[in-house]
Chains A and B, each alone.
Chain A
Amino acid sequence: MYDIQHYYEAKSVEDAIRLRVEHPEAVIISGGSDILISIRSGDLAGCSLISIHGLDTLRGVSLDPDDTLRIGALTSFSHLMKDPLILEHIPVLAEAAGKVGGPQIRNIGTVGGNVCNGVTSADTASTLLAFDAEAELQGQKGKRRVPLTAFYKGPRRVDIEKDEIMTALLISSKAYKDYAGCYIKYAKRAAMDIATSGCSVNVKLTPGKDAIEYARVAFGVSGPVPIRISSAEEAVQGKPLTEETIELFAEHVRAGINPRTSWRASRDFRIQIQLEMARRCLRRSIERAGGEIVG
């Protein structure tokens, strides 16, 4: 039995915004797979909820006129795993969505909730970050866009105003065209687990497929929020597809990550696996982009 005070159901995005304004103390519930946990644990016991679960216009993936990928905030992980546009343009996001929890959670959990929840371990967050995704938010004053790097303000703190909801995650065509990626989730068991660490890498190779034109890397659980490691990205720009390049990448990753020791895992252990994940993700991404690593 959940301790919930009031429950308001939004009929449309506008209605949701009105409810937000009317009930500033109430919390948005989408799939509920994070919120209900907090209600049960006591952290949010007795709270009121605004449900956006019924807003079907925010479900699904489409292409904007400028070929920007528009991922509705309410799109479930299961949907992402099978969506033709995702599989065509950014299959690594389907890969990441497939690592979430188990089948039931992937059915109920939403990609918007994954990001808005503001935790560093969120499985789709590092991949979205690694593709320069932007959050689209709608409030009384209309819509605005925020790059995910800015959207995350700290653990469990994201850039959503009191009257706003997230409507979509957007990835521009420039960010995904000709990129291939790989996501490795490291967890202590093979399902139903939160990432000890997550690494998402993607690369675009030179037309001759003999060097890296551009590479991007993002980590979950390497800091309080998901992070990009731009020094590693810059270091391998234009570099040949060799094991040396991969080591160079790992070296810069090493300088950029800053995991902490908690009872869940030690800093040294996280560094060990994050470096290895970075290497393997880059190798895999290069292979998936059609390159071949020599040496």
Chain B
Amino acid sequence: MQVGKSVKRVDAYDKVTGRAKYTADICPKDTYVARIVHSTIAHGRVLKIDTSEAERVEGVVKILTCFDVPDIEFGTAGHPWTTNPEHQDIADRKLMNEHVRYYGDEVAAVIAKDEVAATRAARLVRVEYEKYPHVLDPLEAIQEGMPVIHEAFPDNILGHSSIREGNYQEAIREPGLIKIEGWYSTPSVQHSQIENHICYAYMEGGDRVTVVASTQIPHITRRITAQALGLPWGKVRVIKPYIGGGFGNKQDALYEPLCAWLCTQVGGHPVMIDSTREETFVSSRVRHAMRSHIISWVRPDGTFAARKMKVWSDQGAYASHGHGVVAKGMGAFPQIYPCPNVECDCWTVYTNKPSAGAMRGYGIPQTMFHNESHIDDIVTKLNMDPVEFRRKNSMPVGYVDPFSKNELYDDSFNQCMTKAEALLNFNRKRKLYANQTGPVRRGVGMALFWYNTAVWPISIETSACRMILNADGSIQLMLGETEIGQGQDTAAAQMAAQVLGVSYKDVHVVSTQDTDVTPYGSGAYASRQTYVGGFAIAQTGRILKEKILKHAHRLTRMPVDIIDIKDSWIVRKEDGRRLISLETLATETLYDIKHSEHIAAESTYSVQSNAYSFGASFAEVEVDIPLCHVRLLGLVNVHDCGNLINPQLAEAQVHGGMSMGIGFGLYEKMLFDEKSGRMLNDNLLDYKLPTTMDHPDIIADFVENPEPTSPFGTKALGEPPACSPAPAIRNAILNATGVAINDIPINPDQLFESFRDAGLLEGE
């Protein structure tokens, strides 16, 4: 077996020794550096840009402004293209914008011979604005008389969708129902991946432009870059080397289009845009802040009569991934705890803030916090057990989503809860912590999460793969699906090896995607690559194997259907006899004087299914009330993501996601100055990303129910780990202190406000 084993990462040595090359490592020495001049107002129009002083700085090559860019509006979301105009992403921005819509919008770019000159000159560019009023809060932005951020959306509402099941109004009349109601909110947070967004562009081959970029989605970025520049798609080439993380931030065209255009303006000389951390915070993408109002009508026995949810999602200045994010988040609500009478509405609202895009979990961490906090509010009110309540109400086995046809084949929720309960010793601790007084108290809490793999049937799900048999019997594997640190290349090697009957060590994954040579794959997002890429690998592997066996037949005279490949040998199935090694076969075939053939296979798989991927988080905290401080003592995540291709990588993936969940629940929040719209904490000192010292020993475990639709029995794991830690921690704090905190992060400031309101702090 090549899958299901914790083999070493195929890129481990390169990454540990520093041999792995990232964008900054490979850009030519004489590359020009572009620095961007960002808007210093949240909303308004650029009237004039004076570059005269900046141009005098030694080393400056050229300065371009929002008045110079092509008059083309484009969308940036890293979604696969659709030929249906109604489903295309909203095109609402130019390369640089005269109408600036947030503090940090791009208004000019200085191209210089080095970073110091570019930075000096950028500081000297004088921009004159006409100021408009701005609005930072989505619930305000939808009020009458608010500033219009995009003319095409006069009410600032980018999208609205609803779900109606049964009859909510009718159902709430049932006598004896208990109404539980709450407002819950989650903040704008940022991916904070190690490698800031970076790209460089150069021209060659006449008028073709190449962009080397730290991106999750090379093929999509190529399309968007071409659209933004008004070029035929074939004129653009995107190359993706190793990247230092993305978490969805780089599932968007960020500065690739601008960089490509700047390059065309200096005769095709290489130009680089290397974002600072501050720019990554403000001018890339963030997670949509969301605010929910939830009402549940519950019977005294703990069953639901009717439920209602309204969610407002903060889009920020530009559409990016737009309404799809909250729509996905809301979609989980009626499914995780099915109830016959449901009303849901969600809105995505433009504000004068950094643009929200994709971020690990795509709306689910937000609405899971809202929903799972609300569930514990119900449990508290009804004095029920949180695990029992969820066992009673969560999605039952056999549930089928009428839209996606997703089916819950196994009892994932219950199995995950059982395992996590035992790992944290939840029930015993809950009893132990029942009646605490005193300044320092402990508590336990838990939460479930709902997730589904990939994006079918909302968008296409397609992946193409190419395999080439080398003369030594090893395989070259090329896939559009990208390695972004998660271990994709290793999983792909293992899956290919499994299909072909070779060792994963003999599968050479071409890690770099180059749109000139790499087959199409949509890239790293939606936790899709192992699932979707798996289909393409399985199918292409079968084609390659068929070709190999045909040659084996020629060389060994054995009928194709009695032979197979095992451990890189052609074997006779019946008695296991080794007939010819794959190496000999490959060499003989390539160098055959008459029949020479380069054995290769390439195919596309268009996936028409999708899979649920569920799990749970269980948390234990210690709360120091007078110091307004929470210490996380333990956190357990248990996932049913189907078969594990590489258990150790899976565990690492879960650890990383849990860490993000901890940051989301307790630490991270982007803060904005009301008056100017400027982000206040745009650096890693003031933006409180948790450190290793803030983590307990976190535990990741799995329930492995093979996913029947997947050739390898696998389903989503990339994003799910980040979906449920925050509500589990919130519920643990509720358990410890009796205080229900509905706004995250539950940082010291928040704890102070909440404890003071609850009367837990001694008065002044």
Chain A residues near B (Cβ < 8 Å): 1-3, 42, 45-46, 102, 186, 188-194, 196, 254, 263-266, 268-269, 271-273, 276-277
Contact B764 A3 (CB under 8 A): no
Residues from chain A with a CB closer than 8 A to the CB of B185 are: none
A254 to B627, CA, bound (A): 16
Per-residue CB contact flags for chain B residues 671-715 toward chain A (1 = under 8 Å, else 0) read: 101000000110011101111111000000000000000000000
* Nearest chain A CB to B762 CB, angstrom units: 9
Contact B691 A3 (CB under 8 A): no
Contact A272 B671 (CB under 8 A): no
Number of A-B contacts (CB under 8 A): 70
Contact A268 B119 (CB under 8 A): no
Contact B123 A42 (CB under 8 A): yes
* Cβ-based interface call for B115 (8 A): yes
A18 to B120, CA, bound (A): 30
Residues from chain B with a CB closer than 8 A to the CB of A42 are: 119, 123
* Nearest chain A CB to B256 CB, angstrom units: 23
Residues from chain B with a CB closer than 8 A to the CB of A3 are: 116, 119-120
A194 to B747, CA, bound (A): 15
* Cβ-based interface call for B525 (8 A): no
Chain B residues near A (Cβ < 8 Å): 114-116, 119-120, 123, 626-628, 667, 671, 673, 680-681, 684-686, 688-694, 747-749, 752, 756, 761, 764
A196 to B627, CA, bound (A): 12
Residues from chain A with a CB closer than 8 A to the CB of B691 are: 102, 189-192
Contact B752 A188 (CB under 8 A): no
* Nearest chain B CB to A5 CB, angstrom units: 10
Residues from chain A with a CB closer than 8 A to the CB of B114 are: 1
Residues from chain A with a CB closer than 8 A to the CB of B120 are: 3, 45-46
* Nearest chain B CB to A123 CB, angstrom units: 14
Considering the complex, give the chain A residue whose CB is closest to the CB of B691.
Answer: A191
Residues from chain A with a CB closer than 8 A to the CB of B692 are: 191
Considering the complex, give the chain B residue whose CB is closest to the CB of A265.
Answer: B749
A187 to B749, CA, bound (A): 11
Contact A269 B693 (CB under 8 A): no
Interface centre among A2, A263, A264 (most CB of B within 10 A): A263
Residues from chain A with a CB closer than 8 A to the CB of B752 are: 266, 268-269, 272
- Could you name 23 residue pairs across A and B whose Cβ atoms are closer than 8 Å? A1-B114, A1-B116, A2-B116, A3-B120, A186-B748, A188-B688, A189-B693, A190-B694, A191-B691, A191-B693, A191-B694, A193-B685, A193-B688, A263-B680, A265-B748, A265-B749, A266-B749, A266-B752, A272-B628, A272-B752, A272-B756, A273-B626, A277-B627
A271 to B628, CA, bound (A): 12
A238 to B688, CA, bound (A): 43
* Nearest chain A CB to B66 CB, angstrom units: 22
A263 to B686, CA, bound (A): 10
Contact B628 A269 (CB under 8 A): yes
Contact B686 A190 (CB under 8 A): no
Considering the complex, give the chain A residue whose CB is closest to the CB of B673.
Answer: A263
Considering the complex, give the chain A residue whose CB is closest to the CB of B122.
Answer: A42
Contact B747 A188 (CB under 8 A): yes
Contact (A264, B628) CB under 8 Å given A3-B120, A42-B123, A271-B764: no
A100 to B349, CA, bound (A): 42
Considering the complex, give the chain B residue whose CB is closest to the CB of A190.
Answer: B693
Residues from chain A with a CB closer than 8 A to the CB of B680 are: 263
Considering the complex, give the chain A residue whose CB is closest to the CB of B750.
Answer: A269
Task: Give 9 nearest A-B pairs by CB, closest first.
Answer: A190-B693, A191-B693, A269-B752, A1-B115, A276-B626, A191-B691, A3-B116, A190-B694, A188-B688
Residues from chain B with a CB closer than 8 A to the CB of A266 are: 749, 752
Residues from chain A with a CB closer than 8 A to the CB of B123 are: 42, 45
Contact B686 A272 (CB under 8 A): no
Considering the complex, give the chain B residue whose CB is closest to the CB of A266.
Answer: B749
Residues from chain B with a CB closer than 8 A to the CB of A196 are: 748
Residues from chain A with a CB closer than 8 A to the CB of B684 are: 192
Residues from chain A with a CB closer than 8 A to the CB of B671 are: 263
A236 to B219, CA, bound (A): 71
Contact B119 A273 (CB under 8 A): no
* Nearest chain A CB to B34 CB, angstrom units: 14
Residues from chain B with a CB closer than 8 A to the CB of A265 are: 748-749
A102 to B761, CA, bound (A): 32
Residues from chain A with a CB closer than 8 A to the CB of B688 are: 188-189, 193
* Nearest chain B CB to A56 CB, angstrom units: 30
A261 to B692, CA, bound (A): 29
A186 to B628, CA, bound (A): 10
Considering the complex, give the chain A residue whose CB is closest to the CB of B278.
Answer: A41
* Nearest chain B CB to A87 CB, angstrom units: 23
Other 16 A-B pairs with CB < 8 A, given A196-B748, A254-B764: A3-B116, A186-B748, A188-B667, A189-B667, A189-B689, A190-B693, A191-B691, A191-B692, A192-B691, A263-B673, A263-B680, A265-B748, A266-B752, A269-B749, A272-B628, A272-B752
A3 to B122, CA, bound (A): 13
A267 to B116, CA, bound (A): 40
Residues from chain B with a CB closer than 8 A to the CB of A46 are: 120
A277 to B681, CA, bound (A): 26
Considering the complex, give the chain B residue whose CB is closest to the CB of A192.
Answer: B691
Contact (A272, B626) CB under 8 Å given A45-B120, A188-B667, A189-B667: yes
Contact A269 B748 (CB under 8 A): yes
Contact B690 A276 (CB under 8 A): no
Considering the complex, give the chain B residue whose CB is closest to the CB of A280.
Answer: B627
* Nearest chain B CB to A62 CB, angstrom units: 33
Residues from chain B with a CB closer than 8 A to the CB of A190 are: 691, 693-694
* Nearest chain B CB to A272 CB, angstrom units: 6
Residues from chain B with a CB closer than 8 A to the CB of A186 are: 627, 748
